[in-house]
Amino acid sequence: MSEQPATASAPSHPASTPDEFDLPPAYDALATEQRLYEQWVESGSFRADPNPDREPYCIVLPPPNVTGALHIGHAFQQLLQDIVIRRARMQGLEALWLPGTDHAGIATQVVVERELAKEGIDRREIGREAFVEKVWEWKAQYGGRIVEQMQAMGNSCDWSRLRFTMDDGLAHAVRVAFVRLYEGGLIYRGERLVNWCPRDTTSLSDSEVNHWDVDGELVTFTYPFSDDPSHGVDVATTRVETMLGDTGIAVHPTDERYTGVIGKTVHHPFTGQDLPIAADDAVDPTFGTGAVKVTPAHDPTDFEIGQRHGWPLMNILTAQARIADTAPERFRGLDRYEARAAVLEALQELGLVKNVERPYAHPVGHCYRCDTEVEPWLAGLQWFVRVDPLKGPAKQAALDGKIRFWPERWTHAYTQWLDVLRDWNISRQLWWGHRIPVWYCPDGHMTCVVEDPSACAECGSEQLRQDPDVLDTWFSSQLWPFSTLGWPEQTTDLSYFYPTTTLITGYEILYLWVARMIMSGLYLTGDVPFHNVVIHGLVRDPHGRKMSKSVGNTIDPMDVVERAGADPLRFGLAWQATEAQNIPFGEEHVDAGRRFANKIWNASRLVLRARDGRTGPPALPDRAAMTLPERWLLSRHEAMVEEVDQALTEFHFAEAAQAIHRFFWSEFCDWSIEAEKERLYGGSPAERETAGELLAWVLERTLRVLHPMMPFVTEEIWQRFGAGESIVTAPWPEQRPELTDAEAEARFGTAQELVTAIRRFRKAHGLRDGLSLSATLAPRESDSKEIESVRPEIERLANLSSLEFGESASEVTGAARLSADGFDVFVRLEGVLDLDVERERLRARLAQVEAEAGRHRSKLANDAFVSKAPEAVVAKERVRLSSLDEEAEGLRSQLASLG
């Protein structure tokens, strides 16, 4: 792709202000960002349409919940997407970032129920239809909040394509997907144990359950034999209340302790039933007593055991996790935790309790939404997706490289999860969501169709009742990459943009969402939904803790935008966007981004003024007219462009941000602009023009490289160049390998080392920057001419009144000896420092260094320490000793030079 200024076909913007080529003294982010964003949207800068002359690049935004506000995790994830899509747009691709929001079934229903409760309204009183209307009213009032916040962050989405998972088109896609999966035998209805949240009163999929250890109790009690109550079988459980639903006892077939009891029965002390004892391979003989109570209606493993042995299912809990009427009367109506204590007490009264271990840490499943302890529960007939036929192709797509995970380690996590994936429960006992497209007639016939039927497909009855459940929110979300492009219709958008290019999301929904999109995409469209999956970590506070309002460690991105602007937050987040699973982020990163924005602004003011009113794209000056520092600058700029290109191609966002920052702050501002000031302010007209255009050329390109991370400040400056309508559609800088200049980098690099050594000397002795010093350099003979060529730059950058060349170190007296890049530099101290004071300072520091080195040397001479301490600790000691010895040698050399 040829790198040319934006053409006339690019979106046009309103004319710039009269002072279009001047920058105000300070950058006003708050006044600038809204104005620029409105220009971008009005001019259609973010629009994307099928274009046969361009290669597509498509990202679908992971839809945030319509209930929410933009939090720091959203800001981080969306920033990464915006970086990728803005760069793709500048690369000349037809770049579509398709936005949307999710109806968030459970979360939204809970929020609206809470709001109605404030008015004294119970949803059950007003009924399903009226409640759903209330939810739509709530969505209309509050649902756009997060979109407004995304726009304030600078997200370059094509807002003309904004989607909502309950839109008519997407609702149609959900029904088509359900019917096709059903007709393909991949959706079925059955009665199985589900994960049940008693607070939200709905079932959950396995992926919506988070497990963590809780301090509970392990109760060991006895089930008496039916024919000999004086003896029995001891069992251990962490949920003693579930024994009210026990229908059997199981032992491992090879456990010799129980060989003689298999086939016998025990007596239930509260129900009076006799429970059979059976052998089953699922029993872990190392847990508890090796014999387990089996509650098929309240434990997944017990359910499987019960199915194998034909034991009945006894559901002893209500939907609110209270003891049901199926249990003995004395326990009915108790909360599950109250029942736990009551059953234990009743067993103790009967003398059946052998032991209670407290606390006993064990993993317990919790609802991913509200953290309530989940109950395995029989919720009646439920709908499930049969995943075995879907898992294989989804796994193979990753193994074959059709889908590539970044970082690559997530490929293994993804395929491992698929290996153990169980059938997916998609029924949710809610009113808000996509209602299951199945109808029943009085005769029990079932009709599954896309459009609402008028009569039963089997018997013709018109008395139809739709299934009351709605689909799991993730069922509609799994269709997101193609339903948003018009599927199930074969639209032009779908043909052009699908498969999408890249998905960027957090690791916490790799299984909830990403895997399901891959399975459904392959089955329903015949192709993968995306080619790249970029998995990022979760934003934490600087101490690695989860951000929480109760802890007081949250950062509200909108507070930052209103206070400092979006760019500082964006750059601070990009700086931290490493491949770590936890991303530590604090106000110091925002402040660093703010300071960087100011640095960019101030440097740009200087460069724009240096153009002396010239407009249009900066032109690269003739190489023959360039100085060594200018050639060095171009070479370092090219290195930065190559490094950023490589980093962003591989989704290494932090590396890209740090490369840009290092180049702009240090190499461009601290070195090049300073080196050019003599030519800018004291050179001939030709020199001033060459220096000004060179700096402008480098700055303009650097702004384009930085634009995806900091869109606002770069646009505001870039438009002053008169290089095109908008940096949004300006071309991404192409690589220019011919600008790489190893010789210039080496020679000016030596000058940098010398200047840095002198600057460190100033700082070490508390000398003000304005104090002029004189120095003598003892260069290597072969490098004399090279050093001489950059003598003016060294003198100016190090603030030297003179830099002389000496033949040997012995000729220099009364000076501090510095070492840099193999050279000796002698800074004269007369009139600068008191030599006696300096000698005393050096002697004192030498004594400290020698004493510390002695301690490390003694430790390393101790065989016991070297043999027993970890290898890393010993290595650290050796490195430290070497460093101290090197410093001591330098101090002795400095003392010798002072006489």
List, for residues 593-652, the tens digit of each pLDDT value: 999 999 999 999 999 999 988 888 999 999 998 999 999 999 999 999 999 999 999 999
Quote the mean pLDDT of the chain: 91
Kindly give the residue spans of alpha helices, DSSP state H, lying in 366-466. 388-399, 409-419
Per the CB < 8 A criterion, the answer to whether 374 and 212 are in contact is no
Residue 713, amino acid: V
Contact 828, 837 (CB under 8 A): no
Query: Tokens 């003011």 — which residue?
Result: 605
- For residue 515 the two structure tokens come to 């895997």
**Alpha-carbon distance 316 to 295, whole Å?**
10
Structure tokens at 443: 């005769």
Answer for the pair 317, 333: CB distance below 8 angstroms, yes or no.
no
143 SS3 class: coil
> CA torsion sign, 33 to 35 to 37 to 39?
negative
Residues whose CB falls within 8 Å of the CB of residue 747, separated by 6 or more in sequence, listed in order:
628, 632, 786, 789, 790
Sequence-distant contacts of 271-278: CB under 8 A, at least 24 apart: 271/244, 271/328, 273/247, 274/226, 275/223, 275/246, 275/247, 275/248, 275/249, 276/248, 276/249, 276/309, 276/311, 277/233, 277/248, 277/249, 277/250, 277/251, 278/248, 278/249, 278/250, 278/251, 278/305, 278/309
The whole-angstrom separation of Cα 822 and Cα 819 is: 7
Q: Using alpha carbons, list the distances in angstroms from residue 1 to 59, 92, 94, 217.
A: 22, 8, 14, 68
SS3 category, 893: helix
How far is 414 from 393, CA to CA, in rounded Å? Answer: 13
How far is Cα 525 from Cα 495, in angstroms, rounded to an integer?
11
Give me the residues of the chain with pLDDT under 50, please.
1-19
| Amino acid type, 742 | A
Long-range contacts of 557-560, Cβ-Cβ distance < 8 Å, separation of 24 or more:
557/70, 557/71, 557/72, 557/74, 557/75, 557/149, 557/153, 558/69, 558/70, 558/149, 558/152, 560/590
Distance CA 497, CA 476 (A): 20
Pair of tokens at residue 641: 């462009």
Structure token pair of residue 237 = 């459980």
Cis peptide bond N-terminal to 488, omega within 30:
yes
Does a cis peptide bond (omega within 30 degrees of 0) precede residue 407? yes
131 backbone dihedrals φ, ψ, rounded to 5°: -65, -45
- CA-CA distance, 708 to 759, in Å (whole number)? 35
**Cα separation values, 287 from 74, 216, 237, 301, 359, Å:** 43, 16, 10, 14, 17
Measured CA to CA, the distance from residue 432 to residue 110 in angstroms comes to: 10
Q: What are phi and psi of 287, to 5 degrees?
A: -90, 130
3-state helix, strand and coil shares in percent for the chain, rounded to the nearest 5: 50, 20, 35
Of the candidates 657, 675, 468, 479, the one whose C-alpha atom is nearest the C-alpha of residue 576 is 657
The torsion region of residue 555 among left (phi > 0), alpha (psi -120 to 50) and beta comes to beta
In angstroms, rounded to a whole number, what is the distance separating the alpha carbons of residues 423 and 415? 16
pLDDT at site 443:
93
Instruction: Give the pLDDT confidence score for residue 812 in this predicted structure.
Output: 64
Query: CA-CA distance, 406 to 617, in Å (whole number)?
Result: 37
Look up residue 564 and give its DSSP letter.
H
CA–CA dist 194, 428 (Å, integer): 11
Show the CA angle centred on residue 477, arms to residues 471 and 481, nearest 5°: 145
In a 10 Å sphere around its CB, with 0-12 CB exposed, 13-18 middle and 19+ buried, how is residue 17 labelled?
Answer: exposed
**In whole angstroms, what separates CA 79 from the centre of its chain?**
10
869 forms beta bridges with none
Of 239, 195, 221, 228, residue with least CA distance to 106: 195
Say if residues 885 and 855 touch (Cβ distance below 8 Å).
Answer: no
Residue 313 and residue 380 in contact, taking contact as beta carbons nearer than 8 Å:
no
DSSP for 154-192, please give it. T----GGG-EETTSHHHHHHHHHHHHHHHHTT-EEEE--
CA 125 centroid distance within chain: 42
Contact status, residue 149 vs residue 69, Cβ threshold 8 Å: yes
Residues 6+ apart with CB under 8 A from 612: 688, 689, 692
CA nearest 326: which of 339, 309, 307? 339
Q: Give the pLDDT of residue 808.
A: 58
**What pLDDT does residue 814 have?**
75
Report pTM: 0.85
Location of structure tokens 């520091």: 845
What gap in Å lies between CA 518 and CA 184, rounded to an integer?
Answer: 18
Cβ neighbourhood burial of 781 (10 Å; 0-12, 13-18, 19+): exposed
> For residues 561 and 154, is the Cβ–Cβ distance under 8 A?
no
Residue 782 confidence (pLDDT): 53
DSSP letter string over 212-228?
A: EEEEEEEEEEEEEBSS-
* Interval 30-39: pLDDT, tens: 889 999 999 9
Q: What is the DSSP letter of 689?
A: H
**Residue from 352, 345, 331, 318 nearest 233 by CA:** 352
The first and second tokens of residue 223, run together, are: 């089930």
Asked if 824 contacts 787 with a C-beta cutoff of 8 angstroms, the reply is: no
Helix or strand holding residue 758 (H, E): helix 742-765
Longest dimension (CA), the chain: 113
**Counting Cβ atoms within 10 Å, is residue 609 exposed (0-12), middle (13-18) or buried (19+)?**
middle
pLDDT of residue 650: 98
Counting every residue, how long is the chain?
Answer: 899
